[in-house]
Amino acid sequence: MSITIAMYSHDSVGLGHARRNRAIAHALAADLPRLTGEPVGGLLIAGHPDAARDALPAGWDWLVLPGFARTADGYAARRMNLPAAQMSALRGSAVAAAVDAVSPDLFIADRHPFGVGGELTEALDLLRGRPGCRTVLGMRDVLDTPEVAAREWESVGGAERVAEAYDQMWIYGDADVYDPRRTGEIPAALAAKGRTTGYLAHGRPDDEGAPAARPYVLTIVGGGSDGAHIATAAAQAQPPRGHRHLIVAGPQMPPEDVGRLRELTADRPEVELLRSAAHVPALVREASAVVSMAGYNSVAEIMATTTPALLVPRHTRRAEQPRRAAALADVDAVDTLDAAQLSPEALSDWFAHTAGRRTLRDRIDLDGLTRVGDFAAELISVARTSDTGSAHSRTESMEVPTHV
């Protein structure tokens, strides 16, 4: 026998959802064969073409859907001349056809239980009708304020509807640092199915790249679509004596912002602007200090190191990043700077006082990627040995104790 995994991420802005799923795919490819004695392969379904630039384990591949973009009025087609409802129907048909063809043993959706415009509904109905498949909703550590989260759950039909569609919820964080069940971001109907994995930090895939000459300080802004303000301040900051300053703009930073950064750094040989870098985890690990936004994946890469970090959380659209940054600052894992206080002088001062020091983060559970294989193996084993009863009876054995 063999094991097939299917994973979904909608990816309208940035690549955070796809990058989380990719990290999990690498972990499952490494651990499930050892745990089950069976070969493992899978399909990662994503909504942004840049996702497919990242390599996958042998036996895995990408399925990139026609893209959505986030606008002031909601979701809209990124390139196609179709209304949002038709885009969701197109994408939903593609996802349903894909999961029907590969017949996965395990399906993992990142963050959005029914996708954009309910595009996962057909696929989930198909999978829930197959006794041999288990479904997991993966959630980052922080969602938003409890009030906003409650409205979002209601907008997809309520927590009870989500609980009927998924066997488990994996929460990619450390409950001792931040627990969205205790804050009210995850309702009781879903909290009962929640398992905390620990942060997906240690063991993230680290693509090879040319090593950077040390010493250097580093600024990263995720995909870059909304990180120009940080990169601009960084481009004008003074690195510590004897250090270079690497700034990774991100593949999704608008060209006009990249052009502005090139102008700011043109006469500064100590500052190197990179459009993108495949080996960001290694760059973070070897840096003397790092400035970053507070998105989940950037933070996870930082937490896996002892590199001192200054998080400048994004305040637009969601309260997610400020809440994550504050929680990690409370356990002395990072420093934080409000975006309103961001300036070249503030970054220069922080670099001068911090570069070269080390930050110990060993009190935080960072081993989520070593744990998801066990969770997956357990689900698949239960699916294969349980009776082919109703979808309702399937979920009862899935309510397991939370890992802390």
- Same domain, residue pair 387 and 274: no
CA 81 and chain centroid, separation: 29
Q: Is 359 inside any structural domain?
A: no
The three-class DSSP label of residue 167 is coil
Lowest mean pLDDT segment, chosen from 42-56, 113-127, 198-212: 198-212
- Same domain, residue pair 151 and 243: no
Distance CA 83, CA 164 (A): 29
pTM: 0.92
Residues 6+ apart with CB under 8 A from 166: 109, 113, 135, 136, 137, 193
- Same domain, residue pair 249 and 299: yes
Question: What CATH number is given to the structural domain containing 281?
Answer: 3.40.50.2000
Q: Is 86 inside any structural domain?
A: yes
Rg (CA), the chain: 21
Q: Is 170 inside any structural domain?
A: yes
For residue 171, what are the β-bridge partners?
139, 196
- Same domain, residue pair 251 and 345: yes
pLDDT digit string (tens) for 341-354? 999 999 999 999 99
Q: What average pLDDT does this structure show over 33-52?
A: 94
More confident residue, 393 or 37: 37
Q: What average pLDDT does this structure show over 120-146?
A: 95
Q: Is 179 inside any structural domain?
A: yes
Q: Is 225 inside any structural domain?
A: yes
- Same domain, residue pair 345 and 372: no
pLDDT digit string (tens) for 83-109? 999 999 999 999 999 999 999 999 999
Q: Is 184 inside any structural domain?
A: yes
- Same domain, residue pair 184 and 324: no
Spatial contact of 270 and 245, defined as CB atoms under 8 Å apart: yes
- Same domain, residue pair 167 and 284: no
Task: Give the domain range for residue 253.
Answer: 216-354
pLDDT of residue 223: 87
Whether the upstream peptide bond of residue 215 has omega within 30° of 0, thus cis, is yes
- Same domain, residue pair 32 and 166: yes
The DSSP element (H or E) to which 119 belongs, if any, is: none
Task: Flag whether pLDDT at 150 surpasses 70.
Answer: yes
- Same domain, residue pair 233 and 309: yes
Q: How many domains does the chain have?
A: 2
- Same domain, residue pair 295 and 375: no
Q: Is 362 inside any structural domain?
A: no
pLDDT of residue 103: 96
- Same domain, residue pair 257 and 130: no
Residues 6+ apart with CB under 8 A from 161: none
pLDDT of residue 385: 86
- Same domain, residue pair 169 and 40: yes
% residues pLDDT > 70 (the chain): 94
Lowest mean pLDDT segment, chosen from 17-31, 67-81, 224-238: 67-81
pLDDT of residue 207: 67
Task: Flag whether pLDDT at 399 surpasses 50.
Answer: no
